A = this chain, B = another copy of it.
């Protein structure tokens, strides 16, 4: 069961319209980027005719303090207060950064997530992790604050480039791998083009919400949601500043899941055939990232800032088997290198 404030709907206008009628906000702000302004905002624009539209540039590279200052400035100039509503209409960047801005403006004003990418619908919009990148580190500055509501309409995916859909699929795969072997079987039987997105959204939100409910501040259990993310985030951060390779979050996480499945096989009980099945399915969906020998050192260095680290040790969340994850597994440097090498070696 999902809580009342997370709604998966095929009629966002109805749900959102009712929400606005049930409350009486004197001011509404909407954060969009150039894509959601064109493709998503028109769906709800007439319901919020007088809203302040704050537009930022799309892309992880803009998820920083400079953009936050621009958002806070616009809220200030329009005299937003704690009775007003802020809406994040977009993907993970919009949700993470807009939520962070709302949660810190005047020490927090109400905000609503309307995620429009698969990635945001199955992952980023749920669970209250907000933040921005800082000095090249992913989500380095942020808070845990849940939005007042999350309205998810799969129809928004029709406006999404296929590459973005693929990126979100990585988190769908992750939720199956860490918590539901049967669902993994279901997913991995079908090629990318035959996936059922509405079903995947429902499944992912249910899995994630259940884990977050038990451990909202990531003291323990919630860390399993980071499967694939320790090396994945490091790879994503590493290529963030590389103009030649533009990686999406899910693309980095897909590579991270292969590497961390390798670690699960080496350090825990993940079977060889499970490792092979995971690697082969992921590589049937995602292109391999061209990692070179010279990249490895910097990528390992980046794991030193992972938020799960304790007392200087890099901790991983790994798979005991498909459908069951565990956390706080410390991994030696040599093993991380082996994992990166495994990824580079597979065909």
Contacts and interface: CB of A to CB of B under 8 A. Distances in A.
Interface in A79-127: 79, 81-83, 103-108
B129 A107 contact: yes
B26 A311 contact: yes
A76 interface: yes
Contacts of A217: 108
A234 to B, nearest CB: 14
A319 B201 CA distance: 53
Interface stretch (A4-12, A133-141, A276-284, A291-299): A133-141
Contact of A310 (B73, B76, B81, B108): B81
Contacts of A130: 107
Nearest to A106: B307
Given A107-B129, A107-B307, A307-B107, A140 B72 contact: yes
B26 A142 contact: no
A310 B83 contact: yes
A309 interface: yes
B104 A141 contact: yes
Contacts of A81: 307, 309-312
A143 B65 contact: no
Nearest to A69: B65
Contact of A76 (B82, B83, B135, B312): B135
Contact of A312 (B79, B137, B310): B79
Contacts of A218: 107
15 contacts: A26-B312, A69-B134, A72-B134, A72-B135, A76-B134, A79-B304, A81-B307, A82-B310, A104-B104, A104-B131, A104-B143, A106-B140, A106-B142, A107-B130, A107-B218
Interface of A: 26, 65, 69, 72-73, 76, 79, 81-83, 103-108, 129-131, 134-135, 137, 139-144, 217-218, 304-305, 307, 309-312
